[in-house]
Structure 1
Amino acid sequence: MPENPNECPKGRCGRPRVRRCIDLNGPSGCYAPVCPHRQETAESVVVFPEEIAVLKLVDLDDLSQEEAAGVLGVSRKTAWRDLHEARRKIADALVNGKTIRVSGCPHDNSCDCTVPDRET
């Protein structure tokens, strides 16, 4: 945080994140490729709970983006942005063999989930 609250690093702080109504029905974990021919890599992607929630609503529960936004209590644009980011991160992990780390993973010691908290 800058010393002067009116000054942002690189001139852009953006708007504060909108609070979402998230219920994932159980804890999420982290996921890594298990192919024995894959080289171990420390690279990973971090997926946040709001991204998982909108991904579940749209891709698994077959809601439209507008309906998912209503469930989450956000605008359709915010839901689209979260959905787009989740899909991009998961595609990156699948294509490049990266670990998918879930922010707030309840198995911190067993899956070595050192995930940074999202800035609010």
Structure 2
Amino acid sequence: MPRPTKYRKVEFFPQSTYFIPLGKPKCEIKEIALKVEELEAMRLKDIEGLNQEECAAKMEVSRQTFQNIIDAARKKVAVALTEGNAIVIEGGNYTVKFCKFKCLNCGNTYEVNYEQDKRICPSCGSNNIVCSKRSGCCRKWCK
């Protein structure tokens, strides 16, 4: 029996999570799902310029696991760019710290962990929520 997948630590969420080639109808485009931790691996290595060991430490995984994650991410992006596919950033096995959110409809304030990936208020069911701390820990929902 394989070991359970360990959650990868991520620090960044993009504001835009869907990228589509210009001039192609959406109904004709294949989507490629890029996991949140795959994007984080590319950000750390390719944008931050960290070495593999530093990246692995930040994500709290082994160097080999980090290499597997970034290899998968780069392949998905390369395929999407060369074949004209859409990229959707979603899912994965990731975790970050808790963050406080406020519902703009009912005023409820609550904490959520990103691994739960909830975008609705637990009180009223609204998806009209914002980060109440604006601390940068929850860029995924901050507007």
Q: Post-superposition shift, 1:27?
A: 3.7
Which runs of 5 or more residues in structure 1 are unaligned?
1-12, 108-120
- The partner residue of 2:66 within 70, 79, 89 is 79
Q: Post-superposition shift, 1:106?
A: 9.5
Determine whether 1:18 maps to 2:6. yes
- The partner residue of 1:44 within 22, 31, 54 is 31
More strand by share: 2
- Segments of 4+ in structure 1 off by > 6 A? none
SS at match of 1:62: coil
- The partner residue of 2:21 within 33, 37, 48 is 33
Q: Which has the higher contact order (CA 8 A, sep 6+)?
A: 1
Q: Which residue of 2 aligns with 1:113?
A: none
> Partners in 2 of 1:106 and 1:90 — Cα distance?
26
Q: Deviations over 1:38-63 (max 9, x none)?
A: 46523111000110111100000000
- The partner residue of 1:53 within 40, 52, 59 is 40
Preserved contact between residue 30 and residue 86 of structure 2 (Cα < 8 Å):
yes
Q: Deviations over 1:78-119 (max 9, x none)?
A: 110010000000000000000001115999xxxxxxxxxxxx
Preserved contact between residue 43 and residue 99 of structure 1 (Cα < 8 Å):
yes
In structure 2, relative to structure 1, the CA distance for the partners of 1:64 and 1:15 (3 Å cut) is: same
Q: Which moved more, 1:71-80 or 1:13-22?
A: 13-22
State the identity %.
29
Q: Deviations over 1:12-38 (max 9, x none)?
A: x6321111111105544110111x3x4
Alignment root-mean-square deviation, CA: 2.4
> Partners in 1 of 2:20 and 2:83 — Cα distance?
11
- The partner residue of 1:101 within 55, 80, 88 is 88
Letter in 2 for 1:80: Q
> Partners in 1 of 2:69 and 2:7 — Cα distance?
13
- The partner residue of 2:57 within 70, 73, 79 is 70
